[in-house]
Structure 1
Amino acid sequence: MNLPKDQPIETSDEAAPSVLASHALCIAKVREHVYGAGRLQPELVAQDDACDLGRWLRGEAAVLRHRPEYWRAVVAHANFHKCAAEVVRLANEGRRTEAESVLAAGGPLRMASKALVESVSDLKRALDNKEAADPEMSALDLLQLPVRLILGWRGGSLSTPAQAGRGRT
C-alpha cells in the first residue's frame, strides 16, 4: 500500500495554530521517514515533552490542569507520540507495509492525530474563554481528575464529585 506524500493532515481553525503546525510537521517527518527520506529514532519520537505542542501543554495550557480538557489533550498527545514512534520503529525494522498501515488514513496514527487535534481544540477553547477557574473543584477533585479521566475512557463517568452531586455527568 502506498500513501500519497501530500495526504491532508487534520487541523482545526479553533486550535492553537503554531502548536498544531508543529504537530503537522511531525506527521510529515514520520511520513518522510517511512518513505526513506529521513532518519528518526523511535526513542526520540516517543518523547512527548520535546515538541512545541508538548511544551505548550506543560507551559501556557497547564493553567487548565484541573480541567478534563487538559488531561484529554495530555493523554492524546502522549498516545500520538507512542503511535508515531511505532511507525518509526516499524520502518527502521524494514517493515514498511506495516508502518504504512499505521500511518494510513483511518490507521492508528491518524486516529491518534485526530483525537489530539480535537482535544487541543477543546483545550484552546477553554483557554480562550478564560474558564481556568472552576470554584466547585476541591483539592481532592484535582488529585483524582487524572484517574477519573483514565477510568472514564474505559466506560466510566468523567464527572467530578461536585458535578455528580448535581446530577450532571
Structure 2
Amino acid sequence: MNLEDALAKEGEVRPKLLAAIAGQYQLDVKGVARIDACVLGNWLHGEAESKFPLVKSYTPCVEAHDAFHAELEKVVRQINLGEYEQAKAMLGNGTPCTKAFVAMVAATRQFKKDARL
C-alpha cells in the first residue's frame, strides 16, 4: 500500500465538494460517511487491521481517518440541504474539517513510519 498515494486520494475530496457546492448538486452522504469506501479506509479496516494491530500508532491512525470522514459527512449534509455558503465555509482553513484532514495526514504518516511501510 502506498500511503502517500492514498492520502493524495483523500485530498481529492475537497475539490469534489467545492464542485458540488458550485454546481449546487447533491452528493451521497452514506458514501462519504463510509469509512471503508475509500482506498485508505478500505486498507486500514482490512489488510492493515490484520497485519498491524499491535503497532502503537495504528489505532490513532484509524481514529483520525474516521474523524475526517465524519467531518466530510457534515459538509455533505449541508450541501444536500442547500446550505452552500455554510458548506463552503466548513471547508475553509482552520475549520474542524481541515483540522481533521491535517490530523489524519499526520497520524497516517506516523503509522507509516512506525510500521516501516
TM-score range, shorter chain: 0.7 to 0.9
Larger fraction in helix: 2
Specify every segment of 5 or more residues in structure 1 that has no aligned partner in the other structure, as ranges: 1-14, 130-169
* 1:128 lines up with 2:116 in the alignment: yes
- What aligned pairs does 1:36-115 form with structure 2 within 5 A after superposition? 36=23, 39-62=26-49, 63-115=51-103
Contact (CA 8 Å) 2:26, 2:79: kept in 1 or not? no
Alignment-derived partner of residue 22 in structure 1 = 9
Give the Cα separation in 2 of the matches to 1:46 and 1:76.
14
May I ask how many residue pairs the two structures share in their alignment? 115
Using structure 2 for the length normalisation, give the TM-score. 0.87
TM-score of the superposed pair, with normalisation by structure 1? 0.62
CA contact (8 A) 1:103 1:110 kept: yes
Cα distance in 2 between the residues matched to 1:58 and 1:127: 15
Pairwise CA RMSD: 1.8
Task: Give the structure, 1 or 2, with the largest relative contact order (CA under 8 Å, sep 6 or more).
Answer: 2
Is the contact between residue 80 and residue 113 of structure 1 (CA under 8 Å) also seen in structure 2? yes
Shift of 1:67: 3.0
| CA distance in 2 between partners of 1:119 and 1:93 (Å) | 32
Consecutive unaligned residues of structure 2, counting only runs of 5 or more, are none
> For 1:100, what is the secondary structure of its paired residue?
helix
The 3-state SS of whatever aligns with 2:34 is coil
Q: After TM superposition, which residue ranges in structure 1, 4 or more long, deviate above 4 angstroms?
A: none
Distance 2:25 2:38 in 1: 17
Q: Is the 8 A contact 2:57 2:107 kept in 1?
A: yes
